[in-house]
Amino acid sequence: MAKLGELERAVMEVLWARAEPATVRAVHEELTDRGLAYTTVMTVLTRLAAKGVVRRKRSGRAWLYAPAASREEYVAELMLEALEMTGDRDSALVRFAQSVTNDEADALRKALERGESP
């Protein structure tokens, strides 16, 4: 899973917040406070598609962009990749578990007990 830069994250936040796929223009309009050029947003979306982070399909002359995975799936994949980087996965997991809040620990415990996946 590709790690996202700051601008890529901003674009993904727009896409994750939408229920429907978006055109470059729609994403650009959501990011007007950043003063980005339309072509910059188009380039970022094209690169995210090349990385497999977004899916795109033609709609007339425009492309429609949608996240390839939910925000939660993306973050979980990053966490798994981080675990792969350690030589001692068990120690890393224990260290992580010790850093979560009681509520987060309860959520993890319940999910593990049920064999739950979101």
Q: Would you state the pLDDT for residue 118? A: 57
Q: Are 95 and 22 in contact (CB under 8 A)?
A: no
pLDDT mean values, one per 10 residues, the chain (118 residues): 87 96 97 96 97 95 96 91 88 90 91 76
Q: Do 64 and 21 meet the contact criterion of CB atoms below 8 Å apart? A: yes
Q: Give Cβ neighbours of residue 10 (< 8 Å, ≥ 6 apart).
A: 31, 34
pLDDT at 117: 61
Residue 1 confidence (pLDDT): 59
So what's the pLDDT on residue 38? 97
